[in-house]
Structure 1
Amino acid sequence: MAADGLDVMENDKQQQQQQQGEEGGKEQQDVSPDMLIKHPLQNTWTLWFFKQEGNRTWEECQMEIASFNTVEDFWALYNHIEPASRLKLGCDYSMFKQGIKPMWEDEHNCRGGRWLINLNKQQRASELDNFWLEVLLLMIGEAFDEHSDEVCGAVVNVRSKGDKIGVWTADAKKSESILKTGHILKERLNIPRHVSIGFQAHTDTMAKSGSTAKNKFTV
């Protein structure tokens, strides 16, 4: 499910808006069979929420919110949660394929890395939500083509110094797949050519000595 999947999701969003905008009191119309059938996704995805609380460990503060495997259930979930831009500082949203936890140590993630997009505080109001939604649609719509199987999930971190969106992949040694994924990501987010985004291996991030890890690839 690639471009067609994204088209279905956009059409579904438009249909939701049309239904909400219709005036009440009209005679009930015959419902198209297409409206009664949900559109399945290729994978089941799980949304996680992180908020540090008391003496609980980082892993204990990762809360599994809900899983979905259809276009309609994705929009039902997305439309009933706070936008990323309205999360409190220090909180995260993560969306990963079912069975993969949003942590480096997970067996599906430990050999991989992430494309990292840094946003300044001003971009929180203007771009964060659009970027995050586009990343989600790219993932669940399998829009990374034959490289979609390498994509594990994505995380958005809301922080005082600036927000981050990371798209996680499974194997940091698959350079061709990583670069193709990065180019698609940059193109779909309309990131200017003169602005680079970097890919960092999780092992490098864990072993970093400064505030940032060294980029393994850039596009």
Structure 2
Amino acid sequence: MAEGADAKVEKEEGEITPSKGADEASKKHPLEHHWTLWFDNPQTRKGQAWGSTMRPVYTFGTVEDFWCLFNNVVQPSNLIVGADLHLFKKGIEPKWEDPKCEHGGKWTLPVRKGGKGPDAKGPTQLDTFWLHTLLAMIGEQFDDGEEVCGVVLQIRSKEDRIAIWTKTASNEAGQVNLAKQWKEFLDADDRIGYITHADAKELDRGAKNKYTI
């Protein structure tokens, strides 16, 4: 060690001192919640009980990890018919029976077909709606964000659908406000309906909207 009270320990040969800039760049920006992406492949679903083929793909909790995931998954417009994507808060399964979902319901936005396929130029309306919905959720842009369980994307032959699942169907003010904000974020004009999971489970396709915006 060099002489003197202010002497510094000499660095080992080859030792690198991280710069302040590099240290700052390595920091990630945490989200308020962790989120899990689930995928249900229609090719493995045939003959299987509903929900049994649903698999968690990736869980993230930072802005950077979200974009890492989003930039490396197939865009909605290029998914095969029958595919389902789910993005839910960590610890909540995208199933009616989950304790956080069982007393809730869902707002469903139908998205007309158009511009699908690998040769499509630029994002389709479906891709844009999906991205903006995800950003609104993980960015906590909803006033009643604690009501949100997650969002489901369904690719179907006639019409695709995006549905936000919420916790408390009886909370009319919260549900209506959330739906209004969602439509504003997407700049969507179509009317959307809210169906409770209890009605959907009991009445199947005969379930009627509890709320409409």
Of residues 81, 84, 89, the one that matches 1:97 is 89
**Are residue 187 (structure 1) and residue 181 (structure 2) matched?**
no
State which of 29, 32, 36 in structure 1 corresponds to 2:26: 36
Q: Which amino acid aligns with 1:72?
A: E
Q: Does 1:118 align with 2:110?
A: yes
- RMSD between aligned residues: 1.9
Structure 1 residue 123: deviation in Å? 7.0
Displacement, 1:35? Answer: 2.5
> What is the CA-CA distance between 1:32 and the residue it aligns to?
6.0
> Where does the alignment leave 5 or more consecutive residues of structure 1 unmatched?
1-28
Aligned-partner residue type, residue 155 of structure 2: V
Identify the structure with the greater helix proportion: 1
SS in 2 for 1:208: helix
SS, match of residue 156 in structure 1: strand
User: Match of 2:203, SS?
Assistant: coil
CA 1:30–1:123: 2 relative to 1, 3 Å: same
Identity percentage of aligned residues: 40
**Partners of 1:58 and 1:143 in 2: CA distance:** 32
Q: Aligned equivalents of 1:129 and 1:30: distance in 2?
A: 38
Larger Rg: 2
- Judging changes above 3 Å, is the alpha-carbon distance between structure 1 residues 123 and 184 closer, same or farther for their aligned structure 2 residues? farther
Mapped pair 1:134 → 2:126:
no
**In 1, Cα distance between the equivalents of 2:97 and 2:66?**
27
Q: Deviations over 1:109-142 (max 9, x none)?
A: 0100011001122276731011011111111111
Runs of 4+ in 1 over 4 A off after TM superposition: none
1:170 maps to 167
Q: Distance in 2 between matches of 1:131 and 1:123?
A: 14
Task: Give TM-score scaled by structure 1 length.
Answer: 0.80
**Alignment match of 1:82 (pick from 68, 74, 77):** 74
Structure 2's unaligned 5+ residue stretches are 1-18
Letter in 2 for 1:168: W
TM-score, normalised with respect to structure 2? 0.82
